[in-house]
Amino acid sequence: MSSSETTARRSRRGRIFDLAERAPQGDPFETAEECRAYDRSVRTSMIIPMQHMMKLIGPDCGPDKDVLEIGCASGLLSLRLAAQHRDSTFTGLDSNDAFLEVARENTIFANLVSYGGDFACDWARYSRLPYPDDSFDVVFSFCAINRWDKPARILPELARVCRPGGAVLLYDLARDADEGMVSFVLQYAGGDANAFMTSLRASYSTEEMRELLDQVGLNDWSVTKEGINLVVSSRARDTGYTVGEPGIYERIFD
Amino acid sequence: MTQEAITRNFLDTPSFWRDYPERDIEFVRWYPCDVKPLSADQIYATREKFPKTTSFYVHIPFCNQVCTSCPYNKFSTRNTLTQRYIQALKREIDLYSQLPHVRDTVFTSGYFGGGTPTTLRAEELDDLLGYMKQRLNFSPDCSVTIESTPVDVDQQKLDVLLKHGVNRMSLGVQTFHDPLLRYLGRARAHTGESATRTIELIDRSGLENLCIDYMIGIPGQTPELWAQDIRTLMDLPVTSFSVYNYAVMPGSEVFFALQSGATPPCPSTREADEMYQYLHTTLMDAGYLALTYNDFIEPMRPEWEAAGVKTYPVVKDGSKPYRGLETDTFYLTDHLSQIWGRCGDMVAIGSGAYGYLNNHMYLNEPDIESYISRCNEGRLPVVMGAYTDEHEQRCRSLVLGLKLLRVKRSVYRERHGVDPYEYFKDKVDDLVAKGLLEVDADAIQVTYPKGWYYIDNISKSFYSDANYRLPQPTSASTEILKWQIDRTDGRKGLPLVQF
């Protein structure tokens, strides 16, 4: 196949799944038990996205940084980063008390096994963060934007509490992801397939996120699509997965 | 660094589409991929073709010990469920035996896969095989394969299998090194020594073709251990041999064992490629014949040659003496030839089984309880699939046919009424320019070694537009159906007629 043909055939969107229109889901987690189920899925089927996010945000997190996670859910990501960066301070905020209950359970367990790191979580309304301007070096969220009611009111808050020269990084699903990739993830999502598709349908496309950022004056923030994910960053960054060293075929044949 | 190794291994493994010069490693085994809801009534509504010969695939979704790395439809063996399942299989066989498409067809080969089909007890195997023989027509030289592990087969089961004409067994050995088996979570299941004992037992029983499976990419596997495994293979009475990539599933026990450093890392991509190359050159230097890039059979025997088995040169300029086997000239490789080479019919029996009949690829209900209910209600348990029109059939014959490394142009012309090179000229020319294919008057052939390494890129080059950049369907594709916009059936534009 020629490369021009490849380009012509590249787009696989809008053909298989009902993803044309965004279908908001609100916050689907009501009970602590539902939150624990989500927690288990982050530990297993979402482990690779979690590690990808850690790789992206890790270099910004230490030393001596104040790090804020918006929508920390069960707290796993901040707990893991806190253990890696013990000289930084991590704060997780969530507006769902059921999630905070599970985040506290995870924090207790992390302490029991001496996992280390400085992490605390608390309740907050994301559109009115309880901090003065320029309070944090790093502000991030992981797979949370798709549950936000009014992102146009939240995004400027994230910019406000982030210090000049700091980093805001938001990681979520991209509704305009390659449909082949969506099929592939669905096949391996097992019992989490419904939650995955509901979140995907509630997520933003690259274009919609770009419009949203422009609308609230964050024109200099970047939006990139990586696999099935959307990465929003207050500064341009290399989001690419590392896919390993070249195989020997490059040595043998070229 | 362990974490790097595991991350790379995972990201390499399940990514399902890579364009050349990146090497695609999704194992292409079915086509088409754009599956839709489909029922048996829809498949047989219009009779498009009468298969003269066919193959069967029976899925036995039980294992005595379920491996953490296995992506297939399977359950731990439970006695009552097994019995109900066998009853359902027999109902399904009954339904097929009455179907005009299958009633007068001759089965030339078949395959019992899983799961582990030999987790069934000897009496159950006897019952099931006997029932199939009684209801369906088998050719005298029908080649039947059964998958097993080194611990789920004994003399009694072997006697039953031989009695019913099973002449090929595929044994999941993975490796003969006990520490590696432990990393795979198979320590409780078998050891290198028990595998050797079982292989000797099978050899003494007189089974014609014993195939063993190895894996490349196991945690802790090194080139030295791999070379020892290859030597072991060549010393044992093993007729044929397959190798597969070991995939670390995210969030699995092995995944965390790797991350915490509890097990040594998986080989790097480079090491894994070198292991493939070592395997290819060592076996073919010793005269082994290639069936695919990952399946080999023992050097030509006089009795095979006398029976008309043919080979072809793997390297066309003659710089290497390597030979490949023409699978359609040998009854012991009929199943491969039927499903990939001829792209012929295959009746799927059992929960989660894939088949191909009347120009439809189809999948049976993967949920075992729903499967049992449907069979007991007298309904064929087909749930999804795709119709292949003439264009898709032409694509399919190259997507799957080139997995056997060589497609004969005359055979293709006879089947499809067009020459494969003329029909796909741009694509073939492009692959020839990249050094992946060679074309002459007789055949389109995958180059060695380059084309072998890019075998799945080559296959995918012949996907139709409708299938471009779609992953291989699995039994979990039923999840996809729930979310599709277009819920029309997989027959694509053919009129629906009530059966």
A247–chain B Cβ distance below 8 A for any pair: yes
Q: Per residue of chain A (254 residues), give pLDDT as tens.
A: 344 444 445 455 557 888 999 999 999 999 999 999 999 988 888 888 888 889 889 999 989 999 999 999 999 999 999 999 999 999 999 999 999 999 999 999 999 999 999 999 999 999 999 999 999 999 999 999 999 999 999 999 999 999 999 999 999 999 998 888 888 888 877 668 889 999 999 999 999 999 999 999 999 999 998 878 899 999 987 766 544 444 434 444 43
A44–chain B Cβ distance below 8 A for any pair: yes
The answer on pLDDT for B351 being more than 90 is yes
Cα–Cα distance for residue pair A82/A88, rounded to 1 Å = 7
Cα–Cα distance for residue pair A26/A28, rounded to 1 Å = 6
Q: Of A156-165, B114-123, B432-441, give the lowest mean pLDDT range.
A: B114-123
Cα–Cα distance for residue pair A76/A80, rounded to 1 Å = 6
pLDDT score, position B71: 59
Cα–Cα distance for residue pair B380/B95, rounded to 1 Å = 7
Element (H, E) at B375: helix B368-376
Question: ipTM of this predicted complex?
Answer: 0.84
pLDDT score, position B232: 97
pLDDT in tens, B229-238: 999 999 999 9
Residue (of B214, B445, B453, B170) closest to B324 by Cα position: B445
Contact B32, B467 (CB under 8 A): yes
The answer on pLDDT for B424 being more than 70 is yes
pTM given for the model: 0.90
pLDDT score, position B188: 77
Mean pLDDT, all residues of chain B: 90
Chain A positions in Cβ-Cβ contact with residue B465 (cut-off 8 Å): 9
Chain B positions in Cβ-Cβ contact with residue A5 (cut-off 8 Å): 426
Residues B251, A43: C-beta atoms closer than 8 Å: yes
The answer on pLDDT for B174 being more than 70 is yes
Residues B480, A187: C-beta atoms closer than 8 Å: yes
What's B354's DSSP letter? E
Beta strands in B65-190 (DSSP E): 75-76, 106-114, 137-148, 166-174
The minimum CA-CA distance between A65 and chain B, rounded to whole Å, is: 24
Contact B241, B233 (CB under 8 A): yes
Select the residue from A249, A251, A254 to test the B interface by mutation, using most B Cβ atoms within 10 A.
A249
The answer on pLDDT for B321 being more than 60 is yes
Cα–Cα distance for residue pair A146/A139, rounded to 1 Å = 17
Cα–Cα distance for residue pair B65/B186, rounded to 1 Å = 8
* Angle between helix A47-57 and helix A76-84 axes, rounded to 10 deg: 40
Q: DSSP readout, A28-59?
A: ---SHHHHHHHHHHHHTTTHHHHHHHHHHHGG
Chain A positions in Cβ-Cβ contact with residue B15 (cut-off 8 Å): 243
Residues A180, B469: C-beta atoms closer than 8 Å: yes
The minimum CA-CA distance between B456 and chain A, rounded to whole Å, is: 14
pLDDT in tens, B177-231: 999 999 888 877 889 999 999 999 999 999 999 999 999 989 999 999 999 999 9
State CA A7 to chain mean position distance.
29
The answer on pLDDT for B263 being more than 50 is yes
